[in-house]
C-alpha cells in the first residue's frame, strides 16, 4: 500500500488572484521583458524546455506573444521517470503554438554520467535520499546542458520557467532548471501562473494539472514541499515577502505556526541559490 503523505492546507488561504486588467498588464510587462532580454543579448530567438507543466506552458505562450512563433524553439526532453501524458502535453503545447521543437531522450546521457561514477545506478527501485535526489538532479542538469547546446547552435537565449513561489523556497535544481538566461514568470506566485495561463488561452486540463518536477517516478511538488501551493503562496505573500509576523500569518490563513517555520527554513536554506557563488573580498 502506498504511503499517505500529509500535506498542510490553509483553512483560509490568501486570495492572490489578479484582475483582468492586471492580467493584461502582466502579459504586456512580461512580453516587454522577454524582448528586452533578447535585445540586450543581441539575439532574435528563444529556447524553452517544454515539460507539459503549467510553468513551461505559460512561459511558451508568453514567448510567442512577445516574439512570434518563428522565434521560439522548444525542447521536449523525456527521461524514464516522465509520465507519457506530460511528454505528449509538451508536444501539444508546441503544436498548438506553432513553434518548432525537437524531442531529445536524455536517459542515455544520464546513464552515461552515472556509469562513469562508482556506486550510483539508475535502478528505479532506489527510494533513499540523498541518492534519489542526486540522480534526479542529474536528469535536470542534463536538460540544462541540452538547452545550452541548442542555444549556442541557434544563437538564442534560454528562457527559464521558474516562478516566484519556487524561487523563494529554492524548489529547483541549482545549475539545472535554474541555469537559464532569464525567468519571465519570476514575479508571479504559482496560483497566479495558473490564472495567467488561462487568460492566455491555455486549456484547463493543462492549467490545472498537478505540478511535478518529475525527478523520480510518482513525485509531486506538493508532497515534496509538505504543503499545497495556495498555502505556500499565502505564507510567502504575507510573511516572507510581506509584513506579517509568524503568529499573525498563521492566524490569518489558519495553519499551525510550524508551517510558517517550514517555509522560513526553506527560504533561508536556499538563499545560496538566489545569489552568485560567493568569493573572498578583494584584499586591496
Q: Domain check: are 199 and 236 in the same one?
A: no
Question: Is 283 part of any domain?
Answer: no
Q: Highest-confidence range of 73-82, 212-221, 260-269, by mean pLDDT?
A: 260-269
pLDDT in tens, 61-100: 999 999 999 999 999 999 887 666 667 899 999 999 999 9
Q: Domain check: are 138 and 115 in the same one?
A: yes
Q: Domain check: are 59 and 193 in the same one?
A: yes
pLDDT of 124: 45
| pLDDT above 70 coverage of the chain, percent | 92
Domain containing 118 — which CATH number?
3.40.50.620
Q: Domain check: are 153 and 270 in the same one?
A: no
State the Cα–Cα distance between residues 251 and 100, nearest whole angstrom. Answer: 49
Q: Domain check: are 124 and 201 in the same one?
A: yes
Is the pLDDT confidence value at 154 over 80? yes
Confidence (pTM): 0.92
Number of domains in the chain: 2
Burial label, 52 (beta-carbon count in 10 A; 0-12, 13-18, 19+): buried
Find out whether 114 and 124 touch, Cβ atoms under 8 Å: no
State the Cα–Cα distance between residues 86 and 80, nearest whole angstrom. Answer: 12
Question: Among the three residues 174, 200, 219, which one is the final residue of a domain in this structure?
Answer: 219
Is the pLDDT confidence value at 259 over 50? yes
For residue 130, cis peptide bond before it (omega within 30 degrees of 0): yes
3-state secondary structure of 45: strand
Question: Is 88 part of any domain?
Answer: yes
SS3 letters for 132-167? HHHHHHHHHHHHHHHHHHHHHHHCEEEECCCCHHHH
pLDDT band at 3 (very low <50, low <70, confident <90, very high): low
Q: Domain check: are 170 and 54 in the same one?
A: yes
Q: Domain check: are 83 and 173 in the same one?
A: yes
pLDDT of 33: 97
Q: Domain check: are 175 and 51 in the same one?
A: yes
Q: Domain check: are 25 and 135 in the same one?
A: yes
Give the cell for residue 107.
536517459
Range of the domain at 237: 226-276
Amino acid at each position: 500500500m502506498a504511503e499517505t503523505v500529509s500535506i498542510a492546507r490553509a483553512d483560509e488561504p490568501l486570495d492572490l488572484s489578479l484582475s483582468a486588467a492586471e492580467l493584461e498588464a502582466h502579459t504586456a510587462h512580461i512580453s516587454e521583458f522577454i524582448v528586452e532580454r533578447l535585445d540586450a543579448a543581441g539575439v532574435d530567438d528563444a529556447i524553452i524546455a517544454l515539460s507539459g507543466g503549467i510553468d513551461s506552458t505559460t512561459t511558451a505562450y508568453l514567448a510567442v506573444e512577445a516574439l512570434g512563433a518563428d522565434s521560439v524553439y522548444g525542447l521536449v526532453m523525456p527521461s524514464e521517470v516522465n509520465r507519457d501524458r506530460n511528454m505528449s502535453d509538451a508536444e501539444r503545447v508546441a503544436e498548438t503554438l506553432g513553434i518548432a521543437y525537437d524531442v531529445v531522450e536524455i536517459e542515455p546521457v544520464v546513464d552515461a554520467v552515472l556509469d562513469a561514477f562508482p556506486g550510483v545506478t539508475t535502478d528505479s527501485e532506489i527510494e533513499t535520499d540523498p541518492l534519489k535526489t542526486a540522480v534526479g538532479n542529474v536528469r535536470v542538469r542534463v536538460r540544462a546542458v541540452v538547452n545550452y547546446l541548442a542555444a549556442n547552435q541557434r544563437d538564442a537565449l534560454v528562457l527559464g520557467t521558474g516562478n516566484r513561489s519556487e524561487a523563494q523556497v529554492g524548489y529547483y535544481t541549482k545549475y539545472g532548471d535554474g541555469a537559464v538566461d532569464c525567468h519571465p514568470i519570476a514575479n508571479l506566485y504559482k496560483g497566479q501562473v495558473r490564472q495567467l495561463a488561462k487568460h492566455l488561452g491555455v486549456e484547463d486540463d493543462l492549467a490545472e494539472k498537478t505540478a511535478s518536477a518529475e525527478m523520480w517516478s510518482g513525485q509531486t511538488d506538493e508532497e515534496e514541499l509538505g504543503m499545497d501551493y495556495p498555502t505556500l503562496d499565502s505564507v510567502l505573500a504575507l510573511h516572507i515577502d510581506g509584513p506579517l509576523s509568524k503568529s499573525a500569518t498563521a492566524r490569518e490563513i489558519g495553519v499551525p505556526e510550524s508551517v510558517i517555520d517550514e517555509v522560513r527554513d526553506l527560504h533561508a536554506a536556499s538563499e545560496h541559490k538566489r545569489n552568485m557563488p560567493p568569493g573572498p573580498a578583494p584584499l586591496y
